[in-house]
């Protein structure tokens, strides 16, 4: 409106007509006070009490002798954008958010996830699957009715006794994997941990692919009568997966064959001192 009147020389009536408003609306000037002292105090209280809504802040202002209608206070509260944010879900460990590189050797990166199934009598059990992302080798399939963060850390130490600790571990944000026990394990073993974004299982694709093979080729083909039977049968399949089953992404080699050939190539290309 001001631009049309000043720059184009339009009359006020014509400019208002083009904008579709009444000249009376354009000429109106608010007589409402700016309430600067109240706004300043409201912002100060809100910064001190970040989880207080406008009702509690109203009580605090009253205690200080500032009489204000609750409707007006709410309007000031909204204008100052002091609305309390809704609490999100539980606190999640963030881990590393740097872009993930393709591993070029064993133990550079492990990934893990859980798979669930049930016995014939309906009792549920979980399988902790640990994969070496370089060779696709399944390092462990731990079967139990409950697997805590302490148990996960213990299984990692058991695997590390045979092949050493990884440089990085990739997982989702499950409660077991963000427990204090596992966070302490990461710190003590100096192992970097990458938590994938919630709801993005494709960011943990190696172990997700393994889980699909495990379910399609074995879990859906067998009935388990006890935990011991499930452990025995799944361990047999894990050994077959590592040593016999050809992997298309490894050029038709099994994970063990691929790892052995990779170690041989590395030793041949290593310079002599």
DSSP 78-139: HHTT-PPPPP-SS----B--SPPPPP-STTSEEEEEEEEEE-TTS-EEEEEEEEETTT--EE
* pLDDT above 60: residue 192: yes
* pLDDT above 60: residue 162: yes
Phi and psi torsions of 141, nearest 5°: -130, 95
* pLDDT above 50: residue 126: yes
Cβ-contact 103, 134 below 8 angstroms: yes
SS3 state at 194: strand
SS3 state at 144: strand
* pLDDT above 50: residue 261: yes
- % of the chain at pLDDT higher than 70: 89
Cβ-contact 145, 123 below 8 angstroms: yes
**pLDDT tens by residue, 96-107:** 444 556 778 888
Q: What mean pLDDT comes out for the span 187-207?
A: 86
**pLDDT tens by residue, 11-59:** 888 888 877 888 888 777 767 677 788 888 888 888 877 767 888 788 8
């Amino acid at each position: 409106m001001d631009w049309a009147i000043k720059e184009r020389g339009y009359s006020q009536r014509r400019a208002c007509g083009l904008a579709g408003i009444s000249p009376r609306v354009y000429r109106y000037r608010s007589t409402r006070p700016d309430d600067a002292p109240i706004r300043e105090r409201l912002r100060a209280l809100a910064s001190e009490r970040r989880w207080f809504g406008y009702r509690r802040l109203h009580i605090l202002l009253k205690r200080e002798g500032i009489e204000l209608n609750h409707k007006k206070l709410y309007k000031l509260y909204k204008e100052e954008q002091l609305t309390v944010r809704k609490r999100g879900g539980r606190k999640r460990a963030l881990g590393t958010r740097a872009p993930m590189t393709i591993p070029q050797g064993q133990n550079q990166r492990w990934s893990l996830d859980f798979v669930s199934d049930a016995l014939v009598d309906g009792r549920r059990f979980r399988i902790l699957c640990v994969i070496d992302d370089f060779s696709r080798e399944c390092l462990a399939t731990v079967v139990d009715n409950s697997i805590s963060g302490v148990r996960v850390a213990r299984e990692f130490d058991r695997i590390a006794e045979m092949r050493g600790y990884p440089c990085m571990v990739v997982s989702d944000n499950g409660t077991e994997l963000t427990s204090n026990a596992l966070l302490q394990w990461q710190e003590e073993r100096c192992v970097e941990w990458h938590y994938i974004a919630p709801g993005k299982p494709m960011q943990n694709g190696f172990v997700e692919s393994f889980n699909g093979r495990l379910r399609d080729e074995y879990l859906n083909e067998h009935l388990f009568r006890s935990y011991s039977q499930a452990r025995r049968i799944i361990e047999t399949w894990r050994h077959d997966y590592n040593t016999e089953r050809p992997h298309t992404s490894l050029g038709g080699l099994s994970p063990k064959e691929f790892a052995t050939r990779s170690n041989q190539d590395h030793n041949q290309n290593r310079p002599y001192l």
